């Protein structure tokens, strides 16, 4: 199913595009398909990636990679999601890059989320915590604030292959916060906590969600 949605994204690429590129396995699949078109058709594509992983992959495929601080808006961009609803609300950040992913989404004139149908849910947050990026010195303040907003459990994300917490590319920690329900203003309220940089809630960012299932590809 990832191949199906990847092929749909690759089909939309045009010569000369400047595209925002997210992070994750579904994005990797889309980049592979885009790379095929670049090789076969000689397309010239410029990308602004959200992570080192995506930047390196784009370079391998022959795409021109711009630094994230490139000063300009992007015609369109795409990224995966951990959960998404039919209203196009999403939770992202399982890979830890939600800050750059949110900046990317805001910069794109059109932001597309690509998922398989297992990621489409009726209730956002069910079985999927909201990642919250926090300045390390503000951990206690962030935890108190998240509990006040209704978080039922908080867990500092631990690193794999290292001792201690995951450290984001901006030098912060991630608190995975479980909420019984996601309300429309929760993203704003989380960001209002002192020490919180941003969260993995993406409410009102996606112009379109492309969903792959066994029966084909559909669009929300």
- Same domain, yes or no: 18 and 82: yes
Catalytic residue among 3, 41, 87, 101: 101
Burial bucket for residue 167 (CB in 10 Å: 0-12, 13-18, 19+): middle
Q: What percent of the chain has pLDDT over 90?
A: 84
- Mean pLDDT computed over 179-197: 97
133 is catalytic: no
40 in the same domain as 7: yes
* Segment 189-208, tens digit of pLDDT: 999 999 999 999 999 999 99
Give the domain CATH number at 99.
3.40.50.1360
Whether 134 and 37 share a structural domain? no
Q: Does 180 share its domain with 96? A: no
This model's pTM is above 0.85: yes
**Residue 220 covered by a domain:** no
Q: Which of the four pLDDT bands, split at 50, 70 and 90, describes residue 162? A: confident
Tell whether 58 is covered by a domain. yes
Whether residue 104 is found in the same domain as residue 138: no
CATH of the domain at 183: 3.30.70.260
Structure tokens at 4: 């199906």
Q: Is residue 219 part of a domain?
A: no
Q: Looking at the structure, do residues 64 and 111 belong to the same domain, yes or no?
A: yes
Query: Do 14 and 61 fall into the same domain?
Result: yes
- Residue 90 domain-assigned? yes
Q: Indicate if 57 and 135 belong to the same structural domain.
A: no
Same domain, 109 and 158: no
208: number of Cβ within 10 Å: 14
The answer to whether residue 144 is domain-embedded is yes
Task: Please report the pLDDT score of residue 24 as a whole number.
Answer: 86
Q: Give the model confidence (pLDDT) of 22-49 as tens digits.
A: 988 889 999 999 999 999 999 999 999 9
Clarify whether residues 164 and 192 are in a common domain.
yes
Residue 154: strand pairing partners: 177
Number of folded domains that form the chain: 2
Burial class for 96, CB neighbours closer than 10 Å (0-12, 13-18, 19+): buried
| Domain-embedded: residue 112 | yes
Domain region containing 91:
2-121+204-214
């Amino acid at each position: 199913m990832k191949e199906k949605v990847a092929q749909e994204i690759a089909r939309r690429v045009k010569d000369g595009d400047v595209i925002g590129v997210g992070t994750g396995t579904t994005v990797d699949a889309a980049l592979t398909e885009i790379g095929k078109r670049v090789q076969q058709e000689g397309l010239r594509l410029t990308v602004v990636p959200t992570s080192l992983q995506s930047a390196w992959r784009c370079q391998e495929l022959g795409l021109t990679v711009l630094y994230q601080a490139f000063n300009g808006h992007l015609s369109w961009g795409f990224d995966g999601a951990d959960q998404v609803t039919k209203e196009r609300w999403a939770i992202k950040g399982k890979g830890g890059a939600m800050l750059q992913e949110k900046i990317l989404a805001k910069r794109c004139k059109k932001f597309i989320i690509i998922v398989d149908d297992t990621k489409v849910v009726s209730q956002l947050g069910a079985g999927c915590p909201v990642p919250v990026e926090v300045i390390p010195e503000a951990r206690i303040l962030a935890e108190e604030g998240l509990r006040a907003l209704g978080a039922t459990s908080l867990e500092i994300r631990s690193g794999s292959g290292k001792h201690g917490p995951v450290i984001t590319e901006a030098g912060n920690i991630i608190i995975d916060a479980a909420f019984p329900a996601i309300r429309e203003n929760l993203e704003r309220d989380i960001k209002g906590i002192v020490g919180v940089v941003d969260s993995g809630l993406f409410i009102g960012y996606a112009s379109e969600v492309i969903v792959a299932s066994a029966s084909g590809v559909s669009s929300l």
